[in-house]
Structure 1
Amino acid sequence: MLTNTIQTGNIFLDYLDFESIAWDRVWVATRETLYMTSISVIAVFFLGILLGLLLYETRNSSSTFAVILYKVVAFLVNVFRSIPFIILIVLLIPFTKAIVGSMTGPTAGLPALILSAAPFYGRLVETGLREVDKGVIEAAEAMGSTKWEIIKKVYIPESLPNIVAGITVTAISLVGYTAMAGVIGAGGLGNLAYLEGFQRSRPNVTLVATVIILLIVFIIQFIGDTWVTKIDKR
């Protein structure tokens, strides 16, 4: 009983041993996570809006071309949404190596991050567009607005709260994806927690990496909620 108590105490002290942590490595890993998250969020934001608009516009169209286009895009979106992220990274290794020139590092993790999250966000955008008041769209069409003007002045402004809420959820998911990507060599806090923390039996490093990831998630959620509150006039 006494031995178990001592061992438990030692493990607890290991978690609190912050002096032995190489903080320069923690900072580098944090920057890598922020780099992967920020670049992928920006790319996913624009690709997701394009996908959402495309799915929304072709969904109920009577044009043969639009019907075929919708089925193709919807199929690809569903495929990439369904593949587990860790498997997608492996499947994209040849593609990643071809366009990035490497299979490891933060930049090498971007293709998988973007291709996994953009279809998910595209569906969220499509859902937000469906909630736009049809009367507003009909009024814009009656005034002779072009399709681009309707997109710019009706679709986007009216669905903006949902668009922002969607990118907030997606950004938080991407933070988790970066941790998984880090385990197989993309760097970041996931890589730090796995190599420096788990494999070397240093729970203090794993704890610090986890806390920093949580802080990043909380900050993203706070910014997203604040933005939605400001732009939502309903």
Structure 2
Amino acid sequence: MGDLWIELTTNRVILEKLPEATLETLQMVGLSALITVLLGLPLGLLLRSLATDGLTPSRPVAAVLGAVVNVLRSLPFIILALALIPLTRALVGTSLGWEAAVVPLSVGTIPFFARLVETAVRDVAPGKVEAARVMGSTRFTIQVQVLVREALPALVSATTVTVITLIGFSAMVGAIGAGGLGFLAITYGYQRFDPVVLYTSIVVIVVLVTVVQVVGDAVARRLDHR
């Protein structure tokens, strides 16, 4: 145990690179999560609205939009990240670094989060929607004031799952030069045969996932008034 502590406190890679890599992971996950929620929430509401029992049912549009979402969800993330390199370069100017990683992370998780949103709002009692319709509420008002409000605990849980997924994806894009803890573990841990760096990076990732899960569960319980 003493030898491990000495290795942790004297390893230059851990001392110099670990804080920077952790910050990069937090930045890419945080920005990607924000973009995912901002775009995935309305997309999920739209998917629900276009369903046969939705507010504005349209089977053809729902089929096309659903097919696009399903295709993006079905692609292995690392392959999607590689396929999006030209788009990433066009938007960010480079395919390396945590800023570039935000593009594939967002594209890969928006469809995933949209489906979670669709599932969450589908569970809202139909009677509450009908009551809002009878009172003359607009479709937008029903979506925001009824569907989103009633499904808020489930939406928080969906966001928690999505952020944890993003943390896992952020480690994957480290393999293609995106920076962060994944890059640290692969480049300085695995490729340079330094197990201390490798396993320390894994521990930090596990801690991040645990913190997100605990906080997300606590917020969801606080919002659940059933």
TM-score range, shorter chain: over 0.9
Distance 1:216 1:47 in 2: 24
Matches within 5 A, 1:1-234: 17-18=7-8, 19-22=10-13, 23-60=15-52, 66-234=58-226
Distance 1:219 1:61 in 2: 38
TM-score by length of 2: 0.94
174-183 vs 145-154, greater mean Cα deviation? 145-154
Contact in 2 for aligned 1:15/1:204 (Cα 8 Å)? no
**Structure 2 gaps, min length 5:** none
After superposition, give the CA deviation of every residue in 1:43-63 in whole Å (9 maximum; x if it has no partner): 111211111111001011699
Distance 2:95 2:43 in 1: 27
Distance 1:64 1:150 in 2: 12
After superposition, give the CA deviation of every residue in 1:51-97 in whole Å (9 maximum; x if it has no partner): 11110010116999933321221011101100000100111011111
1:17 partner letter: E
1:139 partner letter: A
| 1:146–1:65 Cα change, 3 Å | closer
**Secondary structure of 2:94's partner?**
coil
**Structure 1 gaps, min length 5:** 1-11
RMSD: 2.1
Size of the aligned set, in residue pairs, is: 224
Distance 1:118 1:108 in 2: 16
Question: Structure 1 vs Structure 2: percent identity of aligned residues?
Answer: 40
Structure with bigger gyration radius = 1
After superposition, give the CA deviation of every residue in 1:191-224 in whole Å (9 maximum; x if it has no partner): 0000100111100001111111111101100110
69-78 vs 174-183, greater mean Cα deviation? 69-78
1:107 partner letter: E
